[in-house]
Amino acid sequence: MFKGDLRKYNYWMKIIINGIEKNYTSSFTLETLLIELGYANKKVAVEVNKEVIPRFELRNKLVVEGDKIEIINAIGGG
């Protein structure tokens, strides 16, 4: 969806997801990113540039060049 042959684009952005640099060709929302990465129906916490993003804001929060994103899985236990 976002990845591909980046050489044919004039612009692409770098972001860091869980410590790994990734390149994307367009801007998108955190919700779209979570879907793309397989977290669509999972309980996760998302932090962007050291700020926790409430779940209700994921749909509207755009990912931009240079963002550092941490996605943390919620694990139940007892």
- What is the tens place of the pLDDT at every residue in 12-47? 899 999 999 999 888 899 999 999 999 988 999 999
d(CA 59, CA 22): 21
Q: What is the CATH number of domain 6-73?
A: 3.10.20.30
Residue 49 vs residues 18, 36, 65, 78: alpha-carbon distances, Å: 11, 20, 12, 31
d(CA 18, CA 71): 6
What pTM, to 2 d.p., does this model score?
Answer: 0.80
Kindly list the domain boundaries of the chain, sorted by start residue. Answer: 6-73
User: Does position 6 have pLDDT exceeding 80, yes or no?
Assistant: no
The confidence score (pLDDT) of residue 4 equals 55
Q: Count the Cβ atoms, other than its own, within 10 Å of residue 63.
A: 20
The confidence score (pLDDT) of residue 62 equals 95
